[in-house]
Structure 1
Amino acid sequence: MVYILDPIFQLLVLAGAFAAVHLLASSKSFIFIAHTVLFASLTAVLIAQGIEPYSTAQHPDGTWKTVFYGAAKATWWIGGALMLVSSVRLFLIFEGRPREGRLVQDLIAGLIYIGASLSIIAYVFNVPVGTLIATSGVVAVILGLALQSTLSDVFSGVALNLGRPYSVGDWIVLDTGVQGRVVETNWRATHLLNATNDLVVIPNSALAKSLLVNQSSPDETHGVTLSVRVLTTRTPMQIQQVFDTILLGGKRALRDPPPLVTLGEMDGQSIIVELAFRVADAGQIIAAKNETLDLIFRHLRAEGLDLATNVLSNDLIQVAPNKLGNANTTVHHELIRALPMFAALADDELKFLTEDLSKRNYPRGAEIMPQGKKSPTLMVIAQGVAVVERESGDAKIELNRLSPGDFFGERGLLMGAEEPGFIRALSPVTVYEISSNGIARVLRERADLADEIGATLAARLNAEAALSEGTVFPAHRPLTIAHRIRQLFQLHQPDRR
C-alpha cells in the first residue's frame, strides 16, 4: 500500500483519469465536473510535494526528480486547460445558433491550448516566451505566405459561419451557375449536392467572393415562371380561363399563394401568356416545369387552341390548327388511343371501345363519383380538371388531380374494387365513358391485352401508393391484376408454369 502514497504513482493515476474522462465521457456536465475534481486533486498533490507549477524554479538534485517535476508541471497546465475548455463547452451557448456557438467555442479552446503550451515552455523548460514569440513571428510570416490559400479559406469560413448567408439543407445558386443543396460546411470548404446528385466542393474563399442566391430563405418555397405564346383563335379572357384551368391540374404547384396567369404582349395573331406559381422547394423546379408543359399541351389540344412561335425576323409562324377532326368518332378515337393501356390496339379494335362511348358534362364543384363506389365504366377526362380526395373523419386528403387524357373508374370496371376517394370537378369537366361491353369485346378478340392492362394499372397504383403511403407493391402484382381481369370478363387463364 506504500506505492499509493508515492507522488509519481498519484501523478500517473490523475493523468490517466484526465485522458479517460476526455476520451470516453459524452456528457458535457460530467466532463466538466470530473475535470474540475481531477484538477483540484492534482493541485493538492503538487502543493503537498512542494511543486509550484507556475514557478520557473528548477530542481537539479537528481535527473529522475527533475523529469518528474517537469512532467508534473506540464500535466498541471494541461489539466487546467482541459478544465477550462470543458467549462467553455458547457456554459458558452448561443441560443438558436449552434454553428456560431461551436465556432466561438473552438476559437476560445484554441486560445486556451496555446496559452497552456506557452506556459509549459516558460515554466517547465524555462525558455523566455518573448524571445520565442519574436522568433516565431518570422516563421509565421513564412508559413502565412506558404499557406495563403488555405488561410484565406479558413478566414472566409469564419466569416461565412458568422454571417450565415446559408445553412445546411439550403439550396443556393452562385453567379457562376453552380447550384445545389448544402450538405456540409466546414473551415475549409462547403459541400453541395446538385440536381444530378453529384457532390460539388467549393472553397470558402471562392464562395465568399461570389454573388450568392439562397433559394431556401426566408422559406423553402420557390417561385417558378413559364411563358408561352398562343394563337388568338379565342378572346384573351377565354385563353386566360383555359390557363387558369391548366394550373389547377398541377400536382406540384402550391395552392397558397395561388398560381397566377398574366396576359402579356399581343399582336394580330398571338398573345403571350405568363404563368407564375410556387413549389415546396427548389429541388422540385424541374419536375414542376415538366409537369406544367405537359398539362399545357394536353389542355390546349383538348380546347382546340394552338401554340405560336417567333423566328429571328419576328415573323410569326402559325402552327397548323390543332383540330382532332370534325366527326365525334375521330375525337373519341384520338382520346382513347392516348391511354397507355390501349396504345397497342389496332384501329378496328379501337372501334369496339368507341362505338357505345357516352359523354357527360359536370359543372364546377360537382361530384363525379362518390368514395367507395365500384364504377361500372371507365371514365376518361376530355376537358377540365378533377380532384380525387379521400375523406378521413373530418379531414380531406388529396390523392390526385386529373386532367385531359387521365382516366378513373378502372378499379371497379377491371378489378372489381372500390374507388379510394370521391372525385370532384375543379372546373367544368367533360368525361367520356367506356362501357364494360366495349372492353369485353376487345378482350375477347385479344385476351393477351389483359396482361398489358394489368402492367399499366399496377404501375399506376404503385405510383399513387408511393405518393400517399410511401409503399411499393410486389413485382408479381401485374400478374395478379391481369388474373382478376380475366376472371371478371370470363377469359381463358394462361398456363404460367
Structure 2
Amino acid sequence: MPHRFYHAPPEPRCAPRGDTLTRIPFHRLVAPVVVAIAALLPHLLLPVDGAAGALRLAAGTAFWLALAWSAARLAALLLAHHPKLLSDLIGTALFLAALVVITQLVFELPATGLIATSSVLIAVLGFALRNTLGDIFSGIALGMESPYAIGDWIEGTENCAGRVTGISWRSTRLLTRDGVALVVPNSLIAGHRIAVYGSGAQGRYRAQLLVPVDATVPAGRARRLLLAAAMEAGRDQPAFAPDVVLVDVAQGQAMYAVRFHVPDYGAEMRWRDAVAGAAQAALQRAGLDFARPAREVGAGRAWQTPAAASPARLLGSIDLFRPFTGEEVDSLAASMAEVPLTPGEAVMRRGEQGDSLFLLAEGVLEVRIAGADGSEVAVDRLHPGAVFGEMSLLTGQPRSATIVALTDALAFRLTREAIDPVLRARPALLEGLTAIMAARQARNRVVPGSNRAVPAAPTREDILARLKSFFAIR
C-alpha cells in the first residue's frame, strides 16, 4: 500500500501582535490571580506562632499553588493552537515546582530529605508503571512534534489504520474504515513508522492497483486497455489522473501498476474496487483475462498468443448491433478497418464530410464542439465500446463534433458501403440507430460555461425520417 508521509503544512500568515494579544481571553486569569493576591496578604501579615501561624502556612501554600495555577493557565492560553499535551506538561511542571518551593520556603523543610524520599518512591512507581510511563512520554514526544492531528487518516502500525478521533497522554484513538474504534498506546505508534494520509482537501494521495496481464500481450496495448479502464472508472472524480506503469515481468506475467488519486484514505477501497472492476471488464472485452503464473498452468498446455482486438466481438457487445444476426455481424466485421490513434490525434473534425462511423475498441477519446467564442469545448469522453460518427454516415450531414484521442487508442471504421445492404434488407434496425443518435445529439447540445442559445436537438422522428430518406427506405 502506498504511503504519503507527513509533511508540515504551510504556516499561516501571522496576524499583527496587537491583534493576537487581543484574541487571548485574559479574563480567564482573573480568578487565579485574585486567589494568589488574597492568599499573599495573610501570609505576609499574620504572625508565625499559634493558630494565626497555621493560617499563615495555609495562606502561603495557597499563594504558591495559585501562582502555579495562574502560570499554567497563561501557558495554556498562549499555547491554545499547539497540542494540548504541551500545555499539560508545562502545567504539571509548574505545580511540581510549586510543591518544592512550598516545602522549602513556607514550611522551611530541607529539600534533601524530600528529594531522597521522592527518588525511592519514583523508582518504585516507575518500575511498576513502566509501560504506562512509556506511553505517556511517547505521547509527550508526539504532542511536541505533532505528526498528525484529529481528523487525519493515519497508519501507525501494521494493520492498524484509521481516522484520528482523539489524542491523549497515553493513547491515540482511531476509527477504522469499518467503523471499529481502536485505542492504540502512544508507545506503539511512536515506535513505528507513521504514514499520514491527511484529511479533507489535504487527504488526496495516489494509490495503485497491481494488474497481472499475459506477458505475450504487447505492453503498449496493455497500457492502453488499463488506462482507458481507469479513466472510465474515475470519470466523475476530479483530479483522478490515472496512469499505468509496467513494474515487473516474471513467470509469464507482466505486472502493471494502475495508479490513481483518491480523495481520502476512507474512500480508497471504493475506488480500488471501481478500477479493478473496470480493468477486468476491459480485458474481457478485448478477449483477455488476468494472467496466472506459469507454474499454475497445466502441464503440457502450450502458451497461446492472445488475439488482437476483434471487431466481431466488439460489435456483438454493443447494444446497437445485438439485433443483427451472426452472419450480418461477421460481414460487417470483415469490412471494418483498424484506425490506430496517438494522443492528440483527431479521428474526425467538426464540419468535414464523412461516410463512416467508428467503434472504439481501446483507449479514450474526447468529444469537442464549438463553444461560445468559437473555440472548441470538450463536452464528453468516449470509452471502449462507444459508437460515434453515425450522423454523417447515416444522414449525409457534416461532422458535428471533433473527436480527439486522449490516450493511445484503437478504433474500427465501418463505411456506408458495408452497412447499406444490411439496413436495406432489415429496415427495422433503423429504430435502434435512431435512439442512440437522438441521445447523442441531445447531449452534444450542452456547452459547459456557455449561456448562449443553441439549436434544439433533432427529434427521433426527424432523425428516422432522414435515415429512411437517405437510404431510400420506405
**What TM-score, normalized to structure 1?**
0.55
Q: Counterparts of 1:24-173 in structure 2 under 5 Å? A: 33-34=26-27, 51-52=42-43, 57=48, 60=51, 72-73=59-60, 75-91=62-78, 98-99=82-83, 102-117=84-99, 126=107, 128=109, 130=111, 139-162=121-144, 172-173=154-155
Instruction: Give ranges in structure 2 of 5+ residues lacking alignment.
Output: 1-19, 351-355, 391-400, 449-458, 466-474
Instruction: Give ranges in structure 1 of 5+ residues lacking alignment.
Output: 1-26, 372-376, 411-420, 462-467, 469-483, 491-497
- The answer as to whether partners of 1:324 and 1:331 remain within 8 angstroms in 2 is no
For residues 45 and 427 of structure 2, the distance between their equivalents in structure 1, rounded to whole angstroms, comes to 99
Q: Deviations over 1:460-483 (max 9, x none)?
A: x9xxxxxx9xxxxxxxxxxxxxxx
For residues 242 and 309 of structure 2, the distance between their equivalents in structure 1, rounded to whole angstroms, comes to 39
Distance 1:35 1:277, change over 3 A: same
Q: Counterparts of 1:166-181 in structure 2 under 5 Å? A: 172-173=154-155, 176-181=158-163
Distance 1:207 1:428, change over 3 A: closer
Shift of 1:80: 1.9
Shift of 1:242: 0.7
Q: Counterparts of 1:91-490 in structure 2 under 5 Å? A: 91=78, 98-99=82-83, 102-117=84-99, 126=107, 128=109, 130=111, 139-162=121-144, 172-173=154-155, 176-209=158-191, 211-212=192-193, 214=195, 216=197, 221-222=205-206, 224=208, 226=210, 228-230=212-214, 232=216, 239-249=218-228, 250-251=230-231, 259-261=244-246, 264-265=249-250, 270=252, 272-276=253-257, 278-280=259-261, 283=265, 286=269, 287-288=271-272, 291=275, 294-295=278-279, 298-299=282-283, 301-302=285-286, 307=291, 309-311=293-295, 330-336=312-318, 361=339, 363-364=341-342, 365-367=344-346, 381-387=360-366, 402-405=382-385, 423-425=403-405, 426-430=407-411, 441=428
Shift of 1:164: 5.3
For residues 142 and 375 of structure 2, the distance between their equivalents in structure 1, rounded to whole angstroms, comes to 44
**What secondary structure is seen at the aligned counterpart in 2 of 1:52?**
helix
Name the Cα RMSD after superposition: 6.2
Q: Which has the higher contact order (CA 8 A, sep 6+)?
A: 2
Q: Which residue of 1 aligns with 2:455?
A: none
Shift of 1:186: 2.7
- The answer as to whether partners of 1:153 and 1:188 remain within 8 angstroms in 2 is yes
- The answer as to whether partners of 2:79 and 2:87 remain within 8 angstroms in 1 is yes
For residues 374 and 138 of structure 2, the distance between their equivalents in structure 1, rounded to whole angstroms, comes to 53
For residues 189 and 29 of structure 2, the distance between their equivalents in structure 1, rounded to whole angstroms, comes to 42
Q: Deviations over 1:262-301 (max 9, x none)?
A: 57348xxx5x423235433573655347515633652574
- The answer as to whether partners of 1:189 and 1:204 remain within 8 angstroms in 2 is yes
- The answer as to whether partners of 1:118 and 1:129 remain within 8 angstroms in 2 is no
- One-letter amino acid matched to 2:245: L
Q: Deviations over 1:348-382 (max 9, x none)?
A: 79989x989988947432456889xxxxx997532
Distance 1:116 1:230, change over 3 A: same
Shift of 1:335: 1.8
- The answer as to whether partners of 2:363 and 2:384 remain within 8 angstroms in 1 is yes
**What secondary structure is seen at the aligned counterpart in 1 of 2:43?**
coil
Distance 1:42 1:55, change over 3 A: same
For residues 405 and 136 of structure 1, the distance between their equivalents in structure 2, rounded to whole angstroms, comes to 79
- One-letter amino acid matched to 1:384: G
For residues 152 and 38 of structure 2, the distance between their equivalents in structure 1, rounded to whole angstroms, comes to 53
